[in-house]
Structure 1
Amino acid sequence: MSERAVAPGGLALVEALVNTVSLDTGEDRLAAEFGLSGAALADAQELREALRAACLAHAGRDMPPGRSVTLTRLLSRAPLLLSVDEKGTAALVPADAASLASRVAVAVATAVTEGTWQRLKACEAEDCHWAYYDRSPAGRSRWCTMAVCGSRAKMRSYRARRTAGRTDSPTAPAGPDRTDASPA
């Protein structure tokens, strides 16, 4: 679970939606945080997991079969409008402000045009997959936080290398045997 600042603009909504479930504890706050029930809750859960898959894809994983189709289907049903104000400024807005899918579609479309969509990622740790906004200069961060998930992953990798090193080579002698050395 991230200690990082929230994602910019509308991506904060997408990040918050994905992070309504904790994979390590199973706690799901989607209904409470978004005030959903019944079919709307089921649709939001499906949307959340499809968005998580997209965030994992941004982090370098392949989307599971069907997830991109699911995300496309869910967002295509979200009506959007192009609004123009008195100054001639145009903006994409949800046709139904109460529709979570419409608000997410606006956030994604806006992030795509701003070039920030690919920076919304999901943590690589299998027991986390927390959404976070990658603020690293190269855009290559892998964990929601280095202090927790990154440290755990690096420690597991280190231990695996040490274990592999012990099994790949015979036990090395501790050094010269000094018990029968003659005095000089």
Structure 2
Amino acid sequence: MASVIQPGDRAPAPPGLALVQDLINTVDLEMDRDALRTVDGLAEFCADHDVPLSGLAESDLRAVLELREALRDVCQAHAGVDVPAATLSRLDKQLAQAHLVLAIDDSGAALVRPAAGLTGAVGLTAHIASSIAGAVADDTWRRLKACAADTCRWAYYDHSPAGRSRWCTMSICGARNKMRRLRSRASAPAG
């Protein structure tokens, strides 16, 4: 999957959240790499994730980039940071366009899935919304988090028993934070 920048040492999210995690992680903020710089990059991402969309335009790319960053903010809220009101407003507008249907399979299980005929960014948003609905139902949604490091904000799935992880990886972002705190204490005037 060339459209997703590979994460560090964390195990990936469960399959139901993989699309959301992968969309957020199409950009590496520290290295300034973005798999969604072009409409072709967006088309490749959709193809890699079996999201059948055609006729993507620049406006779809802009909408998906806005969706990606809003989802990153929401995932950072899962680690204890409030989602900005403007982000919630933009996300509400996008999700309102993503029509979903409730379907029952042959075993009687209920599933939420994208409505037929959705295209462009709205189609991808519907697939994202469907993934989130499934994750809310199986109680995994709040464990998809964004790293607390402002220079990273990588989406990761918190597999820890207590679900209190704040860093994508303790060996990098967590260690940097600990080192900054130590330096700050060491340079503080003695009182």
- TM-score > 0.5 by shorter chain: yes
How big is each residue's C-alpha offset from its partner over 1:110-150, in whole Å with a ceiling of 9 and x where there is no partner? 11111111111100111000000111111110100011111
Match of 1:46 among 66, 91, 100: 66
The amino acid across from 1:123 in the alignment is C
Q: Secondary structure at the match of 2:103?
A: strand
In 1, the alpha carbon distance for the partners of 2:149 and 2:115 equals: 37
Quick check: 1:64 aligned with 2:88? no
Other-structure match for 2:165: 141
Q: Deviations over 1:7-31 (max 9, x none)?
A: 1122111111111111112221124
Structure 1 residues 28-37 or 96-105, which shifts more? 28-37
Of the candidates 65, 80, 101, which is equivalent to residue 81 of structure 1? 101
Task: Confirm whether residue 168 of structure 1 aligns to residue 174 of structure 2.
Answer: no
The alpha carbon displacement at 1:37 in A equals 4.0
- Tell me the equivalent position of 2:51: none
83-92 vs 20-29, greater mean Cα deviation: 83-92
Residue type at the aligned position of 2:67: L
Amino acid at match of 1:34: F
RMSD: 1.7
Q: Give the corresponding residue for 2:50.
A: none
1:91 partnered with 2:111: yes
TM, length-normalised to structure 1: 0.84
SS of equivalent to 1:91: strand
Segments of 5+ residues of structure 2 without an aligned counterpart are: 1-6, 47-55
Structure 1 gaps of 5+ residues are 170-184
Amino acid at match of 2:92: T
**Offset at 1:71?**
1.3
The alignment covers a number of residue pairs equal to 167
Is 1:23 aligned with 2:23?
Answer: no
Question: Percent identity at matched positions?
Answer: 50
How far did 1:85 drift?
2.2
Q: Report what 2:124 is aligned to.
A: 100
Q: Could you say which residue in structure 2 is the equivalent of 1:3?
A: 9
Q: Give the letter aligned to residue 68 of structure 1.
A: L
